[in-house]
Amino acid sequence: MSKSADIAALFNQYVMHTYSPSVTLTSGHGCKVRDADGKTYLDFTAGIAVLNVGHTHAKVVKAVQDQAAALIHSSNLFYTPNQALLAQRLSKLSLGGKCFFCNSGAEANEAMVKLARLWGHEKGKFEVITMRNSFHGRTLAMCAATGQSKVQKGFDPLPLGFAHAAFNDLESVRGLVNARTVAVMVEAVQGEGGLIPATPEFMTGVRKLCDEKGLLMLCDEIQCGMGRTGHWFGWQKYGIKPDAFTLAKSLASGVPMGALVAAPSLSDVFHPGNHASTFGGNPLACATALAVIDVIEEEGLVKRAGEAGALFREGLQALVDKYEKAIEVRGEGLMLGLVVEGPAKDVVTACREMGLLCCTAGENVVRFLPPLNAKDDELEEALEMVGDALEQVYHPES
Ligand SMILES: *Cc1c(COP(=O)(O)O)cnc(C)c1O
């Protein structure tokens, strides 16, 4: 039995079967990872858009090591310098208001919805309009917010207070607004939903509608934020500002962290006792996130995501032109999907055999989320493997 097989057997005996993991990873650097049997892969999942600066970036590792040796955790009973500095960085990059820190994406979205509800409470407003095909996390409330029945099935009764509009259909959103509506929540690029960008008309239309009706516009930037789309935050492409948005995945490069970032108008809605998180914004996570922001700035990775994204998209488009069953390239920056006819997981499996890790988004989209500092030759190597995988899946006899 190989080392990977031993580990998988132990895993399957003692870890609940909520996932279907494939290879057993033991180390990584940059875009490359190694499995327990010594095989290396190009990692174009980047931990599902978590490792925007790549695996074990020297500056991130140093920040983790230094902070771990100084103070890992303190609780929010005390001030810590890096939480203040991180909030300042995020504020200056975005809305100029204040932040709340937590530990995951779902938790950040929960905080954002709680903030909206508290803001609307005196006026009797609580309902949040979210989009069909969206993804906002796996807590009970975020299962209710998510516009996909597959995450909800079997968990009813779900929390009330969410309504689902059609994505990229402003009239559908408008049609759901009523006296109870407090906010509209949207992803600039739907990630789990299949790498679908919001149209400019939709994003600017939602902003205008929210202004007209006195609603909050909330953005879930958990997958598309932190430079991935070629902008620091996905909403920046549209020339609008939301009233608040959430971050998680790539914020601290794999040290679990989420954030709610608010405009000044929403920055003083929460008061002591309204909301909390024991680990939220702890010294280790904040030091790491500060290092991640430094790396993104120093290495020009926001711009690089746009350039690398254009290169990778062009290569995928060539495959669409070549293979009838490769239908379309979708997405933004380095958040790209290849829509295929038939199960995307067959292509993902074939890519893995070639040495490229990617993942699916829904049934028929192959999702590519490389580190933003992937080099041109790594992008080209990956494209070759995708080509070989398509050849294997769609022309098996040649
Ligand atoms: C991953 C994701 C979430 C959930 O984040 P968790 O950290 O898994 O709770 C929410 N929204 C979007 C857009 C995501 O991609």
- pLDDT tens, N- to C-terminus, the chain (398 residues): 578 999 999 999 999 999 999 999 999 999 999 999 999 999 999 999 999 999 999 999 999 999 999 999 999 999 999 999 999 999 999 999 999 999 999 999 999 999 999 999 999 999 999 999 999 999 999 999 999 999 999 999 999 999 999 999 999 999 999 999 999 999 999 999 999 999 999 999 999 999 999 999 999 999 999 999 999 999 999 999 999 999 999 999 999 999 999 999 999 999 999 999 999 999 999 999 999 999 999 999 999 999 999 999 999 999 999 999 999 999 999 999 999 999 999 999 999 999 999 999 999 999 999 999 999 999 999 999 999 999 999 988 75
Expressed as residue numbers, the domain containing 122 is 59-298
Residue of 135, 332, 365 best suited for mutating to test ligand 1, as the one with most atoms within 8 Å of CB: 135
Same domain for 30 and 91? Answer: no
Q: The tokens of 114 are what? A: 């709680």
Same domain for 134 and 251? Answer: yes
Distance separating alpha carbons of residues 115 and 94, to the nearest angstrom: 18
> Residue 318: which CATH number?
3.90.1150.10
Given a contact cutoff of 8 angstroms between Cβ atoms, the answer to whether 208 and 219 are in contact is no
Ligand 1 contact, 104 CB (< 6 A):
yes
Report which ligand 1 atom has the smallest distance to the Cα of 187.
13
Q: The tokens of 53 are what? A: 């600066």
Same domain for 258 and 362? Answer: no
- Show which of 278, 298, 318 is a domain's final residue: 298
Same domain for 204 and 294? Answer: yes
Number of Cβ within a 10 Å radius of residue 125: 20
Q: The tokens of 319 are what? A: 């495959």
Ligand 1 contact, 187 CB (< 6 A):
yes
Q: What is the pTM of this model?
A: 0.98
Residue corresponding to tokens 């493997």: 385
What sign has the CA pseudo-torsion 46, 52, 54, 59?
negative
With 0-12 / 13-18 / 19 or more C-beta atoms within 10 angstroms meaning exposed / middle / buried, residue 92 is exposed
- Show which of 283, 298, 313 is a domain's final residue: 298
Same domain for 221 and 346? Answer: no
Same domain for 111 and 50? Answer: no
Same domain for 248 and 119? Answer: yes
Report which ligand 1 atom has the smallest distance to the Cα of 49.
15
Q: In the chain, how many domains are there?
A: 2
- Show which of 298, 321, 341 is a domain's final residue: 298
Distance separating alpha carbons of residues 148 and 152, to the nearest angstrom: 7
In the sheet that holds 32-35, the strands lie side by side as 25-29, 32-35, 40-43, 356-357
Distance separating alpha carbons of residues 373 and 300, to the nearest angstrom: 9
Same domain for 163 and 79? Answer: yes
Residue of 223, 260, 332, 335 best suited for mutating to test ligand 1, as the one with most atoms within 8 Å of CB: 223
Same domain for 217 and 343? Answer: no
Phi, psi of 41, deg, nearest 5? -135, 155
Same domain for 111 and 249? Answer: yes
Same domain for 148 and 268? Answer: yes
Given a contact cutoff of 8 angstroms between Cβ atoms, the answer to whether 260 and 57 are in contact is no
> Residue 144: which CATH number?
3.40.640.10
Same domain for 144 and 40? Answer: no
In the sheet that holds 359-360, the strands lie side by side as 326-332, 335-340, 365-368, 359-360
